[in-house]
C-alpha cells in the first residue's frame, strides 16, 4: 500500500447530505458546540486548531465535541503537522439545512 506523509488515523467525517435533521439539531443543541461553531465562523478557514478555542472544558471533552460536530457534517478537519486544523462547512451544511447555521450564528445571547 502507498505510503503517506502522516501515519496518523484520518478523522472520520460525515457529509451534511447523509445527516438527519435530528442529528443536526442534537449537535447544535449544546452551548459548548454552539460557541465552537461561532468562533469557527469568525475565523478564516483552516486557521484554527482544536486547542485554540476559548471553551471551559478540558481537552478530552473538547475532542468529543469535535467528534460530534464532524459526525453532523458541521466541521471538517485536516492534520497540519502536530495540529488538527478546522473548517466550518458553511455552504455544504447550508445546502442541506438552509438557514439553520445562519440562525445559530445570528443570535447574540445563548
Q: Which residue of 2, 7, 22, 98 would you call a contact of DNA, by CB under 7 A?
A: 7
Classify residue 107 as exposed, middle or buried by CB count within 10 Å of its CB (0-12, 13-18, 19+): exposed
Contact, 72 vs 54, CB < 8 A?
Answer: no
8 sits near DNA (criterion: CB under 7 A)? yes
Q: Is the Cβ of residue 10 or residue 25 nearer to a second copy in the bound state?
A: 25
Site string for DNA, 26-65 (x = CB under 7 A): x---x-x----------------xxxx---xxxxxxxxxx
Q: Which residue of 16, 40, 66, 88 would you call a contact of DNA, by CB under 7 A?
A: 66
98 sits near DNA (criterion: CB under 7 A)? no
Contact, 86 vs 33, CB < 8 A?
Answer: no
DSSP secondary structure code for residue 107 in this structure:
-
> Of 26, 39, 40, 110, which is closest to residue 75 (Cα–Cα)?
40
The one of DNA, a second copy, none whose footprint includes residue 100, by CB under 5 to 8 A per kind, is a second copy
Q: Please, which residues have CB within 8 angstroms of residue 68's CB and are 6 or more apart in sequence?
A: 27, 30, 33
Interface residues with DNA (CB under 7 A) are 5-9, 11, 26, 30, 32, 49-52, 56-68, 77, 79, 81-85
Amino acid at each position: 500500500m502507498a505510503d503517506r506523509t502522516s501515519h496518523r488515523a484520518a478523522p472520520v467525517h460525515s457529509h451534511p447530505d447523509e445527516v438527519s435533521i435530528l442529528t443536526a439539531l442534537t449537535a447544535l443543541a449544546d452551548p459548548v458546540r454552539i460557541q465552537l461553531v461561532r468562533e469557527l465562523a469568525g475565523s478564516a478557514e483552516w486557521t484554527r486548531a482544536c486547542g485554540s478555542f476559548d471553551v471551559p472544558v478540558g481537552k478530552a471533552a473538547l475532542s468529543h465535541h469535535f467528534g460530534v460536530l464532524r459526525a453532523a457534517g458541521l466541521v471538517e478537519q485536516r492534520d497540519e503537522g502536530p495540529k488538527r486544523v478546522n473548517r466550518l462547512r458553511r455552504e455544504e451544511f447550508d445546502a442541506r439545512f438552509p438557514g439553520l447555521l445562519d440562525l445559530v450564528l445570528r443570535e447574540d445571547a445563548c
